[in-house]
């Protein structure tokens, strides 16, 4: 059974396993002219604005983040946002077309597919942290800035079962630190765009990223992506509710949804 199809099978049978990639690493985001800048990008269609707001508020309050970008499907966000929360209308992208791309599954597929093209959207950034909308940041991410990604396209947290099955780290793309400089240098973004337009993937851009970044992935501790797919960890700094029924009704999510907008790093 192919790796990208194996994930569903493993979880259906309730298999449990452990992998040996549990070790702490750091995340560095380097901005224009070498100035350190911590930037997060989230996918956010207009149908899920209320879902992503708790994630953004938690990042501003706890993560000590400089700027946040929402990849949306309209020209303007309909509500108020802090000055350091920005939007980009990715509905105008031309790389993925419904009638041509085998990974275009629904009206909003492009919002996740463009994750492989972040180097094009952020030409002045060397690195960027990409998070799913169903995440909550619970701790200061300052300690993650020192990561050396010189030889890596990205850093992320391995999924336990698929990593064991494949014999190598298979990263859950719900949290990915992309080395945009290296991706641009090697034209990896162009290659992944072409790949997604020609190869069907079970887990879409996540499979594509893992396939094209083999041997250039730096595994991180589950501290930075605590989910049902990653190894257990006692004190996570990023909670990820991937495929968790009723996650929006969790008390921690409701807490951040109800709170007023915090100032970054407050």
The pLDDT value given to residue 165: 95
For range 115-130, the mean pLDDT: 94
Residue 198 has pLDDT above 50, yes or no: yes
**Reported pTM:** 0.86
Helices (H), the chain: 3-12, 49-62, 109-113, 118-121, 160-166, 180-185, 188-198, 204-212, 251-258
CB-facing half-sphere around the CA of 219: CA atoms within 13 A? 19
Residues 6+ apart with CB under 8 A from 68: 39, 40, 41, 42, 56, 59, 60, 84, 85, 86
Average pLDDT of the residues in 250-262? 95
Does residue 256 have a pLDDT over 50? yes
Looking at the predicted structure, is the pLDDT value of residue 18 above 50?
Answer: no
* pLDDT tier at 14, thresholds 50, 70, 90: very low
Q: What is the pLDDT of residue 251?
A: 97
As a whole number, mean pLDDT of residues 163-167 equals 95
Q: Is the pLDDT of residue 116 over 80?
A: yes
* Residue of higher predicted confidence among 9 and 85: 85
Nearest CA to 241 among 228, 257, 224?
Answer: 228
Mean pLDDT of 146-169: 94
Q: What is the pLDDT of residues 239-248, one digit of tens each?
A: 999 999 999 9
Task: Say what the pLDDT of residue 151 is.
Answer: 95
More confident residue, 258 or 11: 258
pLDDT over threshold 50, residue 13 = no
Q: What is the mean pLDDT of residues 50-59?
A: 96
Domains located in the chain, CATH noted: 3-8+24-258 (3.90.550.10)
What confidence category does residue 263 fall into, taking pLDDT thresholds of 50, 70 and 90? low
Classify burial at 16, counting beta carbons within 10 Å of its beta carbon; exposed 0-12, middle 13-18, buried 19 or more: exposed
- φ, ψ for residue 130, nearest 5 deg: -100, 125
């Amino acid at each position: 059974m192919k790796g990208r199809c194996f994930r569903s099978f493993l979880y259906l049978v309730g298999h449990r396993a452990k992998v040996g990639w549990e070790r702490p690493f750091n995340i560095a985001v380097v901005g224009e002219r070498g100035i350190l800048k911590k930037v997060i990008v989230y996918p956010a269609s207009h149908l899920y604005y209320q879902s992503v707001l708790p994630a953004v508020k938690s990042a501003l309050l706890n993560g000590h983040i400089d700027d946040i970008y929402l990849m949306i499907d309209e020209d303007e966000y309909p509500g108020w946002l802090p000055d350091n929360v920005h939007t980009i209308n990715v509905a105008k992208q031309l790389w993925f077309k419904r009638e041509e791309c085998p990974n275009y599954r629904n009206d909003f597929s492009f919002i996740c597919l463009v994750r492989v093209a972040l180097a094009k959207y952020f030409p002045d950034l060397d690195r960027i942290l990409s998070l799913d909308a169903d995440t909550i940041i619970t701790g200061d991410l300052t300690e993650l800035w020192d990561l050396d990604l010189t030889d890596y396209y990205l850093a992320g947290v391995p999924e336990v079962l698929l990593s064991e099955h494949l014999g190598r780290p298979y990263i859950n793309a719900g949290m990915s630190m992309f080395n945009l400089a290296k991706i641009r240098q090697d034209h990896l973004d162009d290659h992944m765009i072409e790949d997604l337009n020609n190869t069907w993937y079970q887990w879409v851009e996540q499979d594509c990223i893992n396939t094209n970044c083999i041997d250039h992935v730096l595994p991180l501790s589950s501290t930075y992506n605590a989910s049902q797919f990653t190894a257990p960890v006692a004190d996570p700094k990023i909670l990820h509710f991937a495929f968790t029924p009723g996650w929006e009704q969790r008390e921690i999510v409701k807490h951040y949804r109800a709170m007023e907008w915090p100032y970054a790093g407050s």
